[in-house]
Amino acid sequence: MRALLLAGLVPALGLAGCATTVEPPPPPLLAWDRADCDASPDLGRTVSLTPKKETAVHVVSTPLGYGSPCLSQEGGAGPYVVYALPTDLDDKTLIVGGLLGYDRIFSPRVRVLDAEGRETRGFVDSDWFSRGPVYSVQFRPRPGDAFVVVSADPSRVGRTESAINVGTNTTVIYTGYGASNWTTGQERHATRVFAYDGEVRVTINDTDTEEDPDR
């Protein structure tokens, strides 16, 4: 009997030895002290927004943090990324901003540039909304637009954003006296801080996905 007990303990001990500990994410990056930042966006280092084939929705995500290329700009320096717009701009709408992460949102500043690097469009506070899981601006590219620069906006870093993540389901119940709503599920309050690190998310919506044989 004792031998059987010992034999049963061996696999259990082996399983216990395989247990892993999930490390918590590093705290949000709320200060920027690098001095080796670009004076202007590097248009030779871009991320393409052109999908391999025409599609109704194309999503591109870029994580940014302390080790990313950084840009010196009005208001302070911070990480940035340059996206190359598709050459076919017709019927496309872009949503660009910072993904709502577990505890942080990359503090985004978005500018549109022409092929020479001149700014053709910027955005003001009233342009920013939480569109789904992205704190973002939305726009349609215009002729002459070539690049989208997303850089950190220091003026927003450290500000918190609270939201209610709703995981509920509502059922309409019809009775002899009319209809009533029955809601089940849970609501979770989430607080995130705008930071110098996080994920930039670009979504391109295309209403015309027919392939052009001339392109």
Q: Residues with Cβ < 8 Å from 176, sequence gap 6 or more?
A: none
The DSSP output letter for 178 is: E
Taking the model in full, what pTM does it have? 0.78
* 20 falls within a domain: no
Domain-located, residue 49:
yes
**Where residue 41 sits, what CATH number does that domain have?**
2.60.120
Find which of 5-19, 144-158, 176-190, 201-215 is predicted with most confidence, using mean pLDDT: 144-158
Q: Structural domain of residue 133, as residue ranges?
A: 27-159+192-206
168 inside domain: no
Is residue 45 in some structural domain? yes
pLDDT digits (tens, 9 = 90+) for 28-73: 999 999 999 999 999 999 999 999 998 999 999 999 999 999 999 9
- With bands split at pLDDT 50, 70 and 90, how would you rate the model's confidence at 6? very low
Would you state the structure tokens that stand for residue 160, as one six-digit string?
A: 């918190």
Token pair of 35 as six digits: 């001095």
Q: Tell me whether residue 183 is in a domain.
A: no
Q: Rounded to the nearest 5°, which phi and psi values hold at 16?
A: -65, -35
In a domain, 176, yes or no: no
Q: How many domains does the chain have?
A: 1
Task: Choose among 179, 188, 194, 199: nearest CA to 59.
Answer: 199
Q: How confident is the model at residue 178 (pLDDT cuts 50, 70, 90)?
A: very low
pLDDT of residue 214: 53
Calculate ∠ Cα 142-197-97, nearest 5°: 25
Residue 68, pLDDT score: 98
- 6 assigned to some structural domain: no
Judge whether 141 lies within some domain. yes
Torsion of CA 12, 16, 17, 23, to 10 degrees: 160
